[in-house]
Amino acid sequence: STWVPAAGVINATPKAKALAKSKKVDLSSIQGTGNFNRVTEDDVKRALGLLEKTDVKAVSVEATSVPSYRDVPDLPDGPKAMDGMQKAVAKNMEAGMDVPVFRVSRRIKTDAFDDLYRQLKPLGVTVSALLAKAAALALESHPIVNAAYAPGQIVYRKDINVSMAVAIDGGLITPVLPKANLLSLLDLSAKWKELVMKAKKKSLKAEEYNSGTFFISNLGMFGVSDFGALLPVGAGSILAIGGALPTVVQRPDGSFTTVKEMTVTITCDHRHIYGADAAEFLKTFADLLENNCARLML
């Protein structure tokens, strides 16, 4: 069967209508080549002499082979050379595949954490700063998770430099918050905003993105519920943060209530970090966010 537009409806794409209006062309005088004889932007261009005339019948047959009721975007096709940053990311990801890793996940209630953020947000404190401070304080109790592997050695790092992934145009970079356990939330927030701005301008110094000892990747802001991150080269651990979602839980008295929970997943180098180490770190991290948020302000 053939679709026929309702009376008064102009059978043309939005782009065709816009072009025809700007050029004062009567769309009813143009034979459409789109689906169901719809007038396309190219049809208007042909009528204006901006494109060569084409066999309308041939175009119509070709167009109706793929039904569409919208303007289809011109999608990229074929190989495209990577830029320097993309090549570096690819090289690091490949190098990291040789490391034996394992992952441990845990759900964390975020109601207290969310309340603290709402109180501190007017002061300029960011979620990234809060997460970095919580991870850094937890690492003080679990230095093995901040350590790196070297053949025959475990390389401990006194400094806790939290590196957080930032998506930028054409790639990914991990600016570093140095000695995050020693900085205040206000200082961490100001530093993080500065680093993100420099990252987007691609003006970070080498030491501002390659000196991390512990890594965080937060995709919760994009609506991701949970995921596992790949371990960066030279790192011992990376923590993946999912989004907080309303969850029904049972109270000790048997009644039910709703709380917000997020799932965090830590990926560790299994050559020197073991499952119990990762589990204990997540336990400390969770306790900070659920029961001891005030410590983040010290």
The catalytic residue positions are: 270
Measured distance CA(64)–CA(76) in Å, rounded: 22
Angle at 78 between CA 73 and CA 81, to 5 degrees: 110
Contact 154, 271 (CB under 8 A): no
* Phi, psi dihedral angles at 273 (to 5 degrees): -110, 130
Which position has the token pair 């005088």? 29
Alpha helices in 142-229 (DSSP H): 185-200
Secondary-structure percent of the chain, ordered helix, strand, coil, rounded to 5: 40, 20, 40
| Contact between residue 272 and residue 236 where contact means Cβ atoms under 8 Å apart | yes
Chain Cα centroid distance, residue 51: 42
247-256 burial code (b ≥16 CB/10 A, e <16): eeeeeeeeee
Residue in the structure block whose two tokens are 């102009």: 10
